[in-house]
Amino acid sequence: MGKRIVMVGAGLSGAVIGRMLSEAGHDVTVVDSRSHIGGNCYTKRDAETDVMVHVYGPHIFHTDDEEVWNYVNRFTTFLPYKNRVKSTVGGQVYSLPINLHTINQFFGKALRPDEARTFIATQADCSITDPQSFEDQALAFIGRDLYEAFFKGYTEKQWGCSPTALPASILRRLPVRFNYDDNYFAHRFQGMPEHGYTPMIAAILDHPNVTVQLDTVFDPATAAEWDHVFWSGPLDGFFGYRLGRLGYRTLDFKTFRHEGDYQGCAVMNYGESTVPYTRITEHKHFAPWESHKGSVLYEEYSRACGPKDIPYYPIRLVEEKALLADYVAEAQKTLNVTFVGRLGTYRYLDMDVTIREALDCGLAYLRAQENGTTMPAFAVDPL
């Protein structure tokens, strides 16, 4: 007999786990408080320009995980897309991630790779041997000049605090290259779904054992009515925020339109703190195989997430981590609920990692069923 399972949230986690369990014969209901599926990956065509818009900001699919790549390609066609990000600083446009072109342009040099390596080593602060903070990591890695131009202001805007307070792991997301490779991501597989992410997630959810209910708020008090609940909403939200709120950054997007090509690339970062937004996204460049006269753009502003805002980036500083530990302890006392995804586990997850964890989590549930064991509150330790 199939179990009655509810997935709270129709984003990647809910869709992927829901699909796996429905294929195994379980009866899956996916609820979402929003009026659309896809969570923050949701894409939609702009009525005025017909451009495919990444409604909750840029999402570029990249992964080293072949199984995840094969999984997403099973549900939609991915077309080749390379993320080439630029950064405007001091009235000039530079290429990111920091590469030989950036170094040569920034320092007005014509260095070859080995020369650049040696030069950057003279810039870097070699007294920092075990960098803990974002700032220390940057100073040890690239030195003060590049750090202040490209990272300091941007990071202060993005995270609303000093990079001395942020963990080094955030910077470790970005490489430094001593060649002219300006592909933002170093992963083997990268692409963009031909028709955006919404049809991909719709295809994942398209199974006879899956029922989707939009505009539906799930009440955690009803969890016991289900055989199992997979909660991809905010972890603290499940508990009515009773211990306090986990800190997030939210984003505001100021939309504007333009005739023709506004900036020549999908993502233009602004490193300086004097520019109030972090970046401008020109959505039509995410679909270079399409052609549009008009253009729709987002100026992206980051700020502290209030109770009515959409949470985007978990902050995870010392204070938040202490509160997180308290919520994790609460979650471990729940009987039939598993917390999944970026909000459910309060982690800065890329899409591919979210899918990998969802596949593993679905499998863990099926194994637990087979073995008669209890599915834990977390398939991955959020601490």
- List the catalytic residues: 173, 177, 249, 279, 300, 348, 350
- Which residues pair with residue 338 across a beta bridge? 230
Residue owning tokens 């502003």: 301
Measure the CA–CA gap between 81 and 263, rounded to whole angstroms: 17
Angle between helices 113-123 and 100-107 (to 10 degrees): 60
CB-nearer residue toward ligand UDP: 197 or 327? 197
**CA 101/CA 107 separation, integer angstroms:** 10
Nearer to ligand UDP, 175 or 220 (CB): 175
Q: Taken in order 106, 109, 112, 117, is the CA torsion positive or negative? A: negative
Q: Is the CB of residue 214 less than 8 Å from the CB of residue 10?
A: yes
Residues 97, 177: contact at Cβ < 8 Å? Answer: yes
120 or 170: CB nearest ligand UDP: 170
Distance in Å, CB of 270 to ligand UDP, minimum: 8
The CA distance from 302 to 247, in Å, is 13
| Smallest distance from ligand UDP to CB 84, Å | 12
Q: How far apart are CB 101 and ligand UDP at their closest, in Å? A: 15
Instruction: Residue 24: name the closest of 377, 363, 368, 372 by CA.
Output: 363
Q: Closer to ligand UDP at the Cβ: 18 or 39?
A: 39
The separation between CA 173 and the C-alpha centre of its own chain, rounded to angstroms, equals 12
**Least distance (Å) from ligand UDP to the CB of residue 177?**
14
Return the HEC string of 203-226: HHHCCCCEEEECCCCCCHHHHHHC
Whose Cβ is closer to ligand UDP: residue 21's or residue 146's? 146
Coil, strand or helix at 230: strand
Residues contacting 124, CB < 8 A, separation 6+ = 139, 140, 141, 142, 143
Comparison of 157 and 356: residue with beta carbon closer to ligand UDP: 157
Number of C-beta neighbours around residue 247 at 10 A:
20
Rounded Cα gap, residues 121 and 252, in angstroms:
38
> What six digits make up the tokens of 245?
């709120």
Contact positions vs ligand UDP (CB under 6 A) = 87, 96, 150-151, 154-155, 158, 170-171, 173-174, 269, 271
257 membership: H or E segment, kind and range: strand 248-259
Smallest separation (angstroms) from ligand UDP to the CB of 302: 9
Quickly list H helices, the chain.
Answer: 12-23, 66-75, 100-107, 113-123, 134-141, 144-146, 153-159, 197-205, 235-238, 318-333, 341-345, 351-371
**What is the nearest approach in angstroms of ligand UDP to the Cβ of residue 339?**
22
Q: Which CB atom, from 155 or from 345, has the smaller least distance to ligand UDP?
A: 155
Query: Toward ligand UDP, which CB reaches closer, 148 or 330?
Result: 148
